[in-house]
């Protein structure tokens, strides 16, 4: 049976946390789980406040989404319709969300949670949350660009952060720790992460050689830039580097030894796999497997 990791806090507890009985957090983190494909169908909310790199407060509640539960979603987070019987609906907890988020910096791992909360506010005729959003996926990508995926469970494992994935409170706590560790790792402060980043000019991929083993191949790379060493080696053997997996892509090269591990959750991998299963002529290979077939292994 589903058991939340943390007992529900009342609206009074949320107000107490905001009224000075605890120190004002540097930022809060929110994560939501949904009952079905409609993003408004929030069935669990977890909020964690952080101050000086440590947890300052936690709030978790199940929510009756007043919507159906899909078996797919229930398999992911373990929450079923029976678990939310007698639980508050979104309109009931909206005031608690305002007390915790409004006027603060709110972290979420991707903008899914921001969109889900906005959709739930709309359909429940409640005011939008007035907060400054920070995407911890963007933080993780900037702090640890070498990771082939920046999904929450992958980054948490890399950083040694405990996680019960798809429990809203645990996910929120982990996303907050990613920000804490990114601040420590880079020396950048929270205000630096919130500042707009200058757009980088896209660097053109290497020009493919007129001949070579990979001539005619249109190749996307996962886990490395499209002008890095791997791209240079592909181009030196006649392959054309693509910005992403598209209708004309003939190969996805995964810059890791095992292409069928955690990278299978990457969007580019999913697109390539979908095309392959549909019968398209596209191959998914690891970088090491591809390079072993090339006649010219010189550094370029």
- Structural domains in the chain, CATH included, are 11-194 (3.30.420.10), 218-291 (3.40.50)
Q: How confident is the model over 2-31, as a mean pLDDT? A: 62
Give me the pLDDT at residue 11, please.
Answer: 43
Question: What digits encode the pLDDT tens for the residues 53-79?
Answer: 999 999 999 999 999 999 999 999 999
Does the pLDDT value for residue 7 go beyond 50? no
* 142 phi and psi angles, rounded to 5 deg: -75, -35
Residue 107's nearest CA partner among 184, 183, 9 is 183
Q: What is the mean pLDDT of residues 276-280?
A: 91
pTM, rounded to two decimals:
0.67
Provide mean pLDDT across the span 288-293: 88
Burial category of 41 from C-beta neighbours within 10 Å (exposed 0-12, middle 13-18, buried 19 and up) = buried
Give the C-alpha separation, 191 to 112, whole Å: 22
pLDDT given at position 97: 98
Give dist(CA 253, CA 238) in Å, integer: 15
pLDDT at 169 over 90: yes
Cβ-defined contacts of 206-211 (< 8 Å, 24+): 206/231, 206/232, 206/235, 206/236, 206/241, 207/235, 208/234, 208/235, 208/238, 208/239, 208/240, 208/241, 209/235, 209/236, 209/237, 209/238, 210/238, 211/238
DSSP code per residue over 71-112: HHHHHHH---GGGGTT--BHHHHHHHHHHHHTTSEEEESSSH
Sign of CA dihedral 251, 255, 260, 265: negative
- The larger pLDDT score, comparing residue 17 to residue 91, is at 91
pLDDT tens-digit series, residues 199-231:
766 678 899 999 999 999 999 998 777 788 899
Mean pLDDT, to the nearest integer, of 38-43?
96
Evaluate if residue 129 carries a pLDDT over 80.
yes
């Amino acid at each position: 049976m589903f058991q939340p990791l943390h007992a529900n806090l009342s609206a009074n507890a949320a107000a107490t946390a905001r009224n000075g009985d605890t120190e004002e957090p540097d930022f809060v983190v929110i994560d939501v789980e949904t009952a079905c494909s409609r993003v408004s169908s929030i069935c669990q909310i977890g909020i964690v406040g952080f101050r000086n790199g440590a947890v300052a407060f936690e709030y978790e509640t199940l929510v009756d989404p007043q919507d159906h539960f899909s078996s797919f979603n229930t398999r992911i987070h373990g929450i079923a319709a029976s678990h939310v019987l007698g639980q508050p609906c979104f309109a009931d907890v909206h005031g608690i969300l305002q007390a915790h988020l409004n006027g603060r910096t709110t972290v979420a791992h991707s903008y899914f949670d921001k969109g889900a909360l906005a959709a739930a506010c709309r359909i429940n005729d409640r005011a939008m949350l007035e907060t400054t959003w920070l995407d911890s996926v963007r933080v993780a990508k900037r702090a640890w660009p070498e990771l082939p995926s920046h999904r929450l469970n992958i980054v948490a494992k890399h950083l040694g952060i405990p996680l019960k994935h798809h429990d809203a409170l645990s996910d929120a706590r982990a996303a907050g720790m990613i920000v804490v560790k990114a601040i420590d790792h880079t020396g950048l402060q929270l205000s630096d992460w919130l500042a707009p980043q200058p757009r980088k000019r896209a660097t053109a991929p290497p020009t493919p050689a007129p001949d070579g083993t990979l001539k005619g191949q249109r190749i996307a790379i996962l886990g490395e830039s499209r002008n890095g060493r791997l791209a240079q080696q592909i181009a030196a053997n006649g392959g054309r580097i693509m910005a992403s997996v598209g209708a004309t892509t003939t190969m996805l090269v995964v810059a890791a030894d095992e292409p069928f591990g955690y990278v299978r959750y990457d969007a580019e991998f999913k697109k390539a796999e979908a095309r392959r299963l549909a019968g398209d002529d596209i191959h998914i290979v690891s970088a090491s497997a591809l390079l072993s077939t090339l006649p010219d292994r010189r550094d370029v």
